[in-house]
Amino acid sequence: MKTYFLGGTTSEGFKSDFGKILFSPDNYAYILKGGPGTGKSSLMKKIAETFDKTDDIDIYFCSSDINSLDAVVLNKKGIVIVDGTAPHTFDPEYAGARQCIINLGECWNNEKLKKYSDEIVKVTDENISWHKRCRRYIKALSSVNSDIYSIGESSLDKEKLCKFIERFVKKNIPDKKIGCGESVFKKLSVMTQNGYVTSETGCKNIYILSDGIFAGSDFMLRKIEDYAIARGYKIIVSNCDLFNGTIYEHIIIPELDMALISSTPLNKNEIKGNKINFSRFYITAKVSQKKERLAFSKKASTNLAEEAAYSIKSAKEVHDKIEGYYISAVDFNKINKVTEKLIKEIEKK
């Protein structure tokens, strides 16, 4: 199984590129609807376990709860199962023909939920408040990171870096000479209650782009994208939510079993791999001129990231209370029957 995140929190709210996969003409999608604690994640985990040995599976975790699933994609069968509730609300474009809704709300007892209506409203509003707080911190974080990036961009020795990239491509990305490739966006790093985390790629050939000021690794990843597509490869790009998605953070080239993973002050990745130290691609004198400004911004970035993570953690604690009300009202025997019916339906495809 390959693992990603469905999306992540930005200063403008939750963002995801998953819609392109969900509404691809090559896929048929089941969109799950239902409140917190109604078994959506458990249903998807059961689907993944059932087809793990017979299909090529992508699983997408929830950034607010990294133990919970937001989507499962069975690539061979062209089947998508996704949580279509807020904050990642999805609805069918071609209902029945290419997507359908599975309403797990039919498995709960409305009368039980009505008894706790005031409590549910209170904790739901509190959960929303924590997520708004998180977005405010991420907005400030994006501004600080953009300032660090601007220093890096103005100090970058692009000629030296371009020569390195050309040598890297020549050695590691052979030209297939068969048409043009493409890039798709999937999320590998997101802000969570545990901080800013990166999912494992499962690739054998991993290159760590160690870059303290962002600009060099972003530049290289964009160049690698151009080269790889021109040489006929389909690549996976992960951009950074903490810059509002404006910079590239990681790239995977599945056909080469290769991943280029940035290691920055934000993600602090300690993944094992071939390390590329980007300090040599910056003009030292220019970086030194902004030394104090960089130190201040990096400290501010760390503090803001910690507060954003704390906000998500607090939201998760409140969300657990919301789930408690719904779990007490759900008939899980019905959920299990829905799951079994769905598995049989997928098996026939």
pLDDT, tens only, 133-164: 999 999 999 999 999 999 999 999 999 999 99
Per-residue pLDDT tens digits for 59-96: 999 999 999 999 999 999 999 999 999 888 999 999 99
Q: Among residues 245, 273, 243, which one has the least CA distance to residue 259?
A: 273
HSE, side-chain direction, 13 A CA sphere, residue 127: 18
| pLDDT for 332 | 92
Write the Ramachandran bin of 96: left for phi over 0, alpha for psi from -120 to 50, otherwise beta: left
More confident residue, 179 or 211: 211
Q: Mean pLDDT, to the nearest integer, of 332-347?
A: 94
Average pLDDT taken over every residue of the chain: 94
- Confidence category of residue 275, pLDDT binned at 50, 70, 90: very high
DSSP state of 273: S
Q: Where are the domains of the chain?
A: 2-108+331-347, 135-295
Assign 13 a pLDDT band (cuts: 50, 70, 90).
confident
> How do residues 204-239 score in pLDDT, each as one tens digit?
999 999 999 999 999 999 999 999 999 999 999 999
In sign, the C-alpha dihedral spanning 5, 15, 191, 156 is positive
Q: Taking the CB of residue 341, how many other CB atoms lie within 10 A of it?
A: 11
Regarding predicted confidence, which is higher, 179 or 89? 89
